[in-house]
């Protein structure tokens, strides 16, 4: 046996006991932080200035409040007729121990129309990449292999371009009622934050072209994150505690020279440590309600997204607080924000806690272990028929042998 289950069982029980002891204090701390934040409602303009002054000196994520900090809004009534389009993807990454350098991206596509003329179209589109320009990107001086997070970045682009194609289908088959385009996860390409600039420009540039296309078609596009662990709103709240912020003097937070630490005290913002946005807003929001709208101050969002600068709000769905992201051109229109609120929540109700369109898109996209084995056999057979070598590395052969 490779896993000692009796030894692991003791550790699991210890983990549960430790977490149970920590739960009540963390809940009380989150409530205190939320009360402190809500008490600043009406002072949003002041804290927006503080955020601008602190954006270069803080060492944490920040969010820019667009709506009052104490705002709570119930879900508006949904329309009887509407269309939702959604995509999701999965991949088989490059395997350097495999027979051939290649990768596969499978994109699930879903078109759902509600109302008297209800309809559903579900499909998937596999794309295999193996040519030189698929496997490497170069700026002339450097040559970077497309694998791992870069395959994921290409998948993100393909998912959005598939949404554009579905939007065109809706425009050709237009019915009464609004339409919503749904993506899973985030609209901000966080995984590319540390990538070289030419890679960011390549992937983010193509992604923004997809957002341009949806804006031109007047198709609202949003993303949905279940159980988010983001701390952007918490970053703003930390400023509310900071003793160094002085807007009148033009001074923001000074994390590297925090006056509390210099005086031998714990930092005033320590009460926020370890909490995420959902911990705090979860104290206020009831079923179907959303919190205030924020703009992400993520560096990539500020520097590269322009008119698509990503905003977000949190939405209570059952026991979870979900994060809903939308671009600036939607966030500026209160009617569009209300429409997004009502349609996303209705999708969650229909999907028993998760948007039904995204769930169906995932089902279409997922590549299961049996599919992977079939794909490998297809590659091997094709190589052999073409009189090409079809041999895995010795390491891979040993792994296969150990499974038998």
pLDDT in tens, 290-343: 999 999 999 999 999 999 999 999 999 999 999 999 999 999 999 999 999 999
Using 50, 70 and 90 to split pLDDT, how confident is the model at 22? low
Q: Is the dihedral of CA 363, 107, 229, 210 positive or negative?
A: negative
pLDDT in tens, 87-125: 999 999 998 766 788 999 999 999 999 998 899 999 999
Using 50, 70 and 90 to split pLDDT, how confident is the model at 393? very low
Considering the segment(s) 61-231+275-367 as one domain, its CATH architecture is 2-Layer Sandwich (3.30)
Of the candidates 364, 374, 373, which has an alpha carbon nearest to the alpha carbon of residue 159? 364
pLDDT in tens, 164-214: 999 998 887 766 789 999 999 999 999 898 899 999 999 999 999 999 999
pLDDT for position 403: 53
Using 50, 70 and 90 to split pLDDT, how confident is the model at 400? low
Using 50, 70 and 90 to split pLDDT, how confident is the model at 24? low
| Whether pLDDT at 394 is above 50 | no
> Cβ contacts of residue 296 below 8 Å, gap of 6+?
63, 64, 188, 232, 309, 310, 311, 312, 325
pLDDT in tens, 351-390: 999 999 999 999 999 999 888 888 788 877 777 787 677 6
Q: What pTM was estimated for this model as a whole?
A: 0.90
Burial category of 300 from C-beta neighbours within 10 Å (exposed 0-12, middle 13-18, buried 19 and up) = middle
pLDDT for position 172: 79
Phi, psi torsion values for 206, nearest 5 degrees: -70, -35
3-state helix, strand, coil in the chain (%, to 5): 45, 20, 35
CB 179 within 8 A of CB 219: yes
| Whether pLDDT at 402 is above 90 | no
Share of the chain above pLDDT 90, in %: 75
Which residues on adjacent β-strands are paired with residue 85? 111, 181
> Taking the domains of the chain in order of start, what are their residue ranges?
61-231+275-367, 377-404
Distance CA 297, CA 294 (A): 9
Mean pLDDT of the chain: 90
Q: How many residues does the chain have?
A: 404
- Where b means 16+ CB within 10 Å and e means fewer, 149-183 reads ebbbbbbbbbbbbbbbebbeebeeeeeeebbbbbb
- Where b means 16+ CB within 10 Å and e means fewer, 94-103 reads bbeebbbbbb
- Where b means 16+ CB within 10 Å and e means fewer, 259-280 reads ebeeeeeebbbebbeebbbbbb
Strands 179-184 and 82-92 come out as: parallel
pLDDT for position 364: 97
pLDDT for position 81: 93
Higher pLDDT among residues 383 and 61, named by residue: 61
Mean pLDDT along residues 143-167? 95
């Amino acid at each position: 046996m490779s896993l000692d289950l009796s030894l692991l069982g003791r550790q699991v029980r210890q983990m549960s006991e430790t977490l149970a002891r920590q739960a009540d204090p963390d809940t009380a701390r989150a409530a205190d932080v939320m009360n402190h934040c809500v008490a600043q409602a009406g002072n949003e303009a002041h804290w927006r200035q503080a955020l601008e002054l602190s954006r270069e000196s803080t060492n944490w994520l920040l969010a820019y409040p667009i709506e009052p900090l104490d705002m709570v809004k119930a879900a508006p009534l949904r329309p009887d007729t509407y269309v939702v389009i959604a995509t999701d993807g999965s991949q088989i990454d490059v395997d350097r121990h495999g027979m051939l350098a290649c990768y596969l991206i499978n994109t699930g596509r879903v078109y759902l129309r509600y109302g008297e003329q209800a309809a559903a179209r579900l499909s998937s589109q596999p794309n295999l990449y193996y040519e030189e320009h698929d496997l490497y990107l170069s700026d002339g001086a450097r040559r970077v292999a497309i694998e791992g997070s870069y395959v994921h970045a290409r998948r993100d682009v393909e998912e959005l371009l598939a949404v554009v194609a579905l939007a065109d289908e809706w425009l050709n088959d237009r019915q009464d009622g609004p339409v919503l385009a749904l993506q899973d996860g985030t609209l901000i390409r966080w995984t590319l934050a540390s990538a070289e600039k030419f890679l960011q420009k390549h992937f983010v540039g193509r992604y923004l072209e997809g957002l341009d296309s949806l804006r031109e078609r007047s198709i609202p596009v949003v993303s949905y994150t279940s159980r988010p662990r983001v701390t952007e709103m918490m970053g703003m709240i930390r400023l509310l505690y900071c003793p160094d912020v002085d807007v009148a003097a033009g001074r923001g937070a000074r994390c590297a020279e925090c006056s509390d630490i210099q005086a031998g005290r714990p930092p005033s913002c320590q009460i926020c440590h370890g909490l995420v946005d959902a911990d705090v807003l979860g104290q206020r929001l009831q079923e179907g309600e959303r919190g205030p709208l924020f703009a992400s101050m993520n560096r990539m969002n500020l520097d590269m997204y322009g008119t698509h600068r990503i905003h977000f709000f949190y939405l209570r769905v059952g026991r979870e607080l979900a994060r809903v992201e939308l671009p600036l051109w939607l966030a500026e229109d209160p009617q569009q924000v209300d429409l997004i609120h009502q349609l996303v929540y209705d999708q969650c109700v229909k999907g028993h806690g998760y948007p039904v369109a995204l769930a169906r898109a995932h089902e279409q996209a997922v590549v299961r272990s049996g599919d992977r084995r079939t794909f490998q056999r297809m590659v091997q057979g094709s190589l052999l028929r073409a009189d090409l070598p079809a041999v895995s590395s010795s390491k891979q052969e040993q792994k296969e042998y150990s499974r038998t």
